[in-house]
Amino acid sequence: MWLLFAVWLLYRAVFVGAGSSYVTELDGRAAAATHNDFIAGTADFSWPRTIGVWCAAFLTLAVFSFLYRDNAIYKFAESLFVGVSAAYWMVVGFWTVIIPNLLGKIWPAWIQSWAMPGMSPVRDEDWWLFLIPLILGVMLLWRLSPQGAWIARWPLAFIIGSTAGIRLVGFIQADFLSQIHNTIEPVVVVENGQFLLGQSIKNFLIIVSVLAATVYFFFSIEHKGGVGKISQVGVWVLMVTFGAAFGYTVMGRIALLAIRFEFLFDDWLWLIDPAGKRLGM
């Protein structure tokens, strides 16, 4: 079966051109082009982009192979993804955070000479304050040493504490208080002297749902009688909420899966052409 699939792929690649990518020159730069542009003579075949398409297809299938069982190909793709992602974000963080916001503040003339020509070589008056994050960052590197690992606890505690404090304020303002504000709605909605039935029902359901879910979390009161019935309604509200959130998450994952399938069948195998990039094929 795998041999037949390999022969079919070879046939699609050699005689049909599946997986091929093309580039054209646009304002002095190489830009992606379509098969139609290649046929018209305005684009050239690109080996690097073609190899990239085939590598992406291989890694996609390698990840999908986990659906069959755990295997070495999947572990290779997983390790490659984690390693490349970590390296990418390390480089991005170095050039977008450490260079301009730390080293560029302490040694601006040196950073301007080789990294950021547009930066001013003059130090700010409070440049010495940036020595504090520099020292904390160096202390974090002691985590790599078994003897001095305890030194990294101090900057780590500062990072966690300050981040939690900043995020807490933002959460209270953006989520907690806004949720309370959105819950305080009139049960009877009248606009321009006209009773709005739909909006009134919506506000009533919001108020009842919030109160029922709140009663469910009052564990100091025994959930019997009327309180038990209200808490049961709160359970239903919570289940609907969790189900909607889970469905929204699954919908997002299905959208990502559809994008990968479109890549495999369109850009790689050339079995579909929704954008009309290969007219006449």
269 contacts 19 by C-beta, under 8 angstroms:
yes
Give the integer Cα–Cα distance in Å for 226 and 216: 12
Residue-averaged pLDDT of the chain: 92
**Between 9 and 49, residue with greater pLDDT:** 49
What 3-state class would DSSP assign to 29?
strand
Give residue 81's Cα distance to chain centre. 14
Model-level pTM? 0.77
The pLDDT tens digits for 100-150 are 999 999 999 999 999 999 889 999 999 999 999 999 999 999 998 888 889
**Between 46 and 175, residue with greater pLDDT:** 46
44 contacts 51 by C-beta, under 8 angstroms:
no
For residue 106, how many other CB atoms are within 10 A of its CB? 17
- pLDDT score of 146: 85
Whether 192 shows a pLDDT value over 70: the answer reads yes
